[in-house]
Structure formats: structure tokens, C-alpha cells
Structure 1
Amino acid sequence: MGRRPGPSVRLKLTLSYAAFLVIAGALLLAAVWVFLLRGRSRSLSIPDPSDFLRVFDPSNFGPVVFVPAGILVLAFLLVFGLVGGWILAGRMLTPLIRITDVTRKVANGPLSHRIRLPGRRDEFRELADSFDTMLARLEAHVAAQQRFAANASHELRTPLAVTQALLEVARDDPDGDTRALFERLRQVNTRAIDLTEALLVLSRANQRSFTTEPVDLSLMAEEAIETLLPLAEQHGVTLETCGETSTTLGSPALLLQLTTNLVHNAIGHNLPHAGTVWVTTSARTDTVALTVENTGEQLTAALVATLTEPFQRGTDRLHTGHAGVGLGLAIVNSITQAHDGTLTLAPRPAGGLRVTVCLPAAPARTPPERPGPASVRTAPARPAARPRPERPRGI
């Protein structure tokens, strides 16, 4: 923004200090005149220049010499206020100068610079600490975006490279099995489409370009389980859900995607046989929670802390037919943040992962009708159901 040059803050503070001292001195001299000297003489003559020599003689102090003495006092206060105000303003503005220097360095260089203003807390130090916190978050965000761009480029390049290799093989071997080639190309193309859709969902969640309405997380959990039940039956994973009505404000499509990703991730990272997934919803006064737990291999806290990064995979998936694109928990984290919620990941002592999503509760209103009480669904107990095409898949 272009601005016309103006006086510095230090000069403004200096003039303010000096003006305050002069006004205070003038009021003090006026008070002395009114209450001490006004009754000593009814006439006030114009002082002679020689009267200035008798200013500091108490015997000669009176109405005649009071005016020149007051002028000298005001002149002294003006000079003292200008000099002292300039020094004091410089000392007071030193933290601001340091903040400005760091801001210029950050604007023209890396984001690693910090103010780190010493001393006890005051307005300037609170500003410096807030600026340091903002720089730290901005640096982390930029680094994450750079990693995401690099990983996304790599992931998008992989299916293209595979497709090119398959086409070259088919060109060099015209008599090859075209059916196998078409099937392989279909799989590669499906993976590229899934990755593109995942990136679009992630971008939409980060931009918060959605309208909000009351959403019951328990209904989202039941719908996600119904969609992924055939996958669970195929791999012998038991799905169990229970809880209470948990209504929040948000996008039904994104919250269903969040729930589906969590359940899909829990099925994919599970035991090879007789695994279990627990989906629970709960409601408190001002928050609602969705918790998804699954059995599986032992996970460390350090590994769990990286799972929300894009294209991070905790362990090799046991069901390789549903390998995903490594964006499932990253999308969950983005959707949670877009709904002003918190995402907590913790390893289970017995193995596996516990994921908890806490969202702000919707304002109190009449709860929506539910199809029935909390249920427990076991995969082998019912035949496979065909998933509805309009529902999101786990990414």
C-alpha cells in the first residue's frame, strides 16, 4: 500500500512529551499567579530587561518579575521535554524497531527468523511473542505445503509412468495379451482418479467452501459402516458401533467422508484374521466426539504423530487390494480443522490405533429421528450388501 511520508512515531512521542510538560508548567504557573501573587499588587507593569537578572532574588520576587521568570521556566520545560522525550521515546520504541527489522528479514528471506524479545511481559513483548508464534506456524505450514506438493507430484507421476511403460510394452509386443493390458491400465487409471478425487476433497476442506447444517455423527457412522460392510466381510473384520445422538454443525458430505475414511483406514490397517473395529459417538455439553478404534500391529507414538501428513502410511496394508493413496488421515485432519474441531491419534496398548474427532456441538434443538437404537454389527453375521455409488469411499 502506497502511503505519503509523515513524521516518525518517535518524533510524535517527543512532541507529545514536550507539549505535556509545557502545558503542565503553564498550569502550575497560572495556579501560582492566581493563588499566591494576585493579591500582592493591583498593577502589573511591563518588565524591564534588567528584571530578568533579579528572577532568582527572593526579596525582589513579585508580579513584576513573575512573568519573565515564568517564561524562563516554560522555555526550560520545553527544552527539557524535547530532549528527555526524544531519549524516552527511543528507549520505548526499541522493541518496535526490533520487530520491524525481523519483519523485513522475513519478507525478503527465510521464515526461520524470530524476534525473541527479552524482558518481562508487556504490550510490545506480547506482540513479539504473537508474531513469533505466527511465524512458526507459517513456517510449518509452508514446509508442509512443499512436502505435499513434492509428494503429490510423485504420486501423480507414478500412474502416468506406469501407463507409459505398459503402452510401450504393448507397442513392442503387438501379439501380447491385450486383456491383461487393459485390466492393468484400468487399475492404474482408477488409482489416478482416486488420487485426484482425494486431492480435490482435501482442497475443498482447506478452503472451507461449504455450507453448514446440523449433522448427527451417529448417523454418519452407521452409514459409513453400511457402505464398508462388504469390505469388512471380505477380510473377516468385525464392525461394531454404539453411542448416542451427537449433533454438530457442518457439511454432511465432508463429515461422511471423514467417517468413511476413518472406518476404511481401520479396516485396512488391521489384523489379517479376526480383526475388530469399534465406532463410538458421544456428546457433551459443548462438544461431540467420534471415536474409531481398531486392532492391529503395535504402533509407536512417534509413528502415530506422522500419520496425518499427506501420503504417509503407518505400516504396509494387510489388504493390498485397498491400498489407498495415503491421504485418508490427511483429509480427516483437514475436514476436522475446517469444522473447528480437534483430531487425536493414539496407539492402543493391545495394538492398533484409536482416533478421536471432537467437534463443537450444535445449539440445543429437538434431536432428529433415528432409525433405531445403537446397534452392534458383526461382519460374518449378515450377507454382503452392495455399497451405494453416491457414498464416498475411503481415501
Structure 2
Amino acid sequence: MSPRPIIPQPKASRFAKSEATPGGFVEADRRRGRGAQSNHTGRFESEKRTAFDDGWESLGELEALRTDVYEEPARSIITRNKSPDISFDQSINPYRGCEHGCIYCYARPTHCYLGHSAGLDFETKLYAKTNAAELLEQELARKNYKPAVIALGTNTDPYQPIERERHITRAILEVLERTGHPVGIVTKSALVVRDIDILSRMAARGLAKVALSVTTLDRRIARAMEPRATTPAKRLEAVRALSEAGVPVSVMVAPIVPGLTDSEIERILEAAHRAGASEAGYVLLRLPLELKDVFREWLAGAFPDRASRVINLLRSMHGGADYTPEFGLRQKGNGPYAEQIALRFRLALKRLDMNTRRQALRTDLFKPPVAKGSQMTLL
């Protein structure tokens, strides 16, 4: 993949426009191996475009959608939040967009800020923050910086396929290891094992934890729902490799899709426990903003026999709506079905003796890097 350098601008219209026309479904042959079925215009665009056949396209076959990677020198790299239902205060996302193409990804609507669609654009128009490690070092060197766990993979996967070439995530880990800074990683890619050398050294000092996301053990469902993500079996192998290397590893059953994957909760936890995971958590399917339409389109095409049941169960956990954005409810839902899922999860954890030994990461080993132009310490 040949990166196309751009100059990032705050206005969405300045970002690269979509190759696939927003406004309609894209032919199956063109989107083979992708999650979304369409590329509808984002909510911030002043105009909406609709694709139609004017007769000319029949003269030749259209090429399959390719993945374009744009270089985006970031202005800052650490994102902070004050959400009471999230376990971290600061995070880093090396990439915008994600080639894994997970149809349920709650980050899809963020691509609309760039003038893109939450559909196929999210999977095919990726942005690499090429100066991430350099910026991180600068931000950690600030006099008022206070160390707290940095989470990697909170919006898009830090180990998505382009990381094999870009190595941005690894460069970030190198900075964190050098400064003794704690990090927690969430991914659904076995590529995380590539950095097991760094992670095992950091874990030995109480500085690193990894969570693997496992949504289903059914390879057929995974192929449809997460088309370019690592297979479930490979993710469990990654859990085993990390655990054997001394890295604390957990499994996130996330998201749980009611009526499609919720029957697998106990089996996923059992498989994760056998592989060496000591902790686990879950999040119910979330459908904010444009994602509700992207997901519904996919569901009707991939599992038409289950579509109504999935949506009805989901809405029963959000007061009749597709999504409840309130803190505390957005990730767990409420109502009888949500309570049943929570109870099943708790009972499985108790039976497997998981979540009984949660390891807190250390912040007392942090040593700020020397800022450019500053005098190095003698000791």
C-alpha cells in the first residue's frame, strides 16, 4: 500500500474524499472482504450524494475497493477523558479508521468528522499518525505531566494490518518502556505477539497488561462480522503466548450481540481461561449515530433470519431505543435480558475463578524523558 501524504486540517472537507460514492449500497464484488455494505454520507456533510446506474458502468467491471493509507502528522497524541464508566483516563490511538472492518465498531461514526462515511470509508480510508512516538515523548517530558495508565486501542485497533508495515504502535511501546510508563492494550489481533519482547519486560516491572477481544468462537460468524480481524482461534493462541511470557492477559467478550453471540458467553470464557486469561469483561452491542444504520444493513444481509430478534432484544435493553448514551447504561444496558447476561457472566467468572487477582499497574517507576533543548540530569 502506497501512502498518500496529506496536510491535516481541522475542517472535514479538507480530508481525502471517498472513492466509493456515499449514498448507497456498493456492489458485493467491490466490497468483498469488507464489513459494511454501503457508504452513506456522514452527518456533517452539507450535501448528500446517491449512486445510480447511468448505463456507462456496464461497459467494464469496477475494481474492488482498495485500502488507502494517508499520513497524518498529529498535533497531540494523548487523549484524555472523564467518563465515569471507563477504566482509563488517557489513551492513544495510532490510527484513524480500521481495516478489520468490524461491523459493530462504535468508532465508525468518528470517521464522519473527517468528511468520510461511517460505512466502507471507515475500513478503506485509514490515517497513520506518523509522528506518534515523537509527540508522546514530548508530552511525557512536560513538567506538569502526571503518570497514569495509557490505554492503546480504545477507538481503533493499534494492531490492525497496516501496523505490520508502519510499526507506529511498537514505536510507542518503546517510548513507554524507556520511560517506565504503564500501558494497557486492547486488540483483536494476534499481531500483538510480535511485541512480546517489549511487553514481557514491561510486565515483569508491573507496567503492561493486554486484553484480547473475542466476540465469538464461531469462525463463520466472525468472518462475516469481523472480516479482516484475526480468527478467534488465533486470538486464543495469542492469549496463551502472552500468558506464558508473563504478561497479564484478559479477554473482553465485546461486544455481546443479543440473539447472535450471547449464547457463547460461557464457552468464550472457558476457552479464554484454558488459554491463560486471568481476567475478563464484557460490553453489550452499542449502536450510536450512523452505526445503527450500518449495522442494520449488514444484519439484514448476513443473518436475515435473526435480524428482527437481534434488534428487538437490543432495544429491550435500551428502553425501546437502539442505543442509550447515558454513562453506566450505554455499555451494559438494563432490563431483564441485560440482567440475565450480567448474571451469567458473573456466575461463569466465579466458576472459573477469574477476576479474583486483578493486577494494578505501577506509576512510581516513571522517569520523564529529557525534553529537546533541556539539560540532561547528571544522576
TM-score scaled by length of structure 1: 0.21
TM-score scaled by length of structure 2: 0.21
Which structure has more relative contact order (CA 8 Å, sep 6+)? It is: 2
Between structures 1 and 2, the one with greater helix share: 1
Which one has a bigger Cα radius of gyration? 1
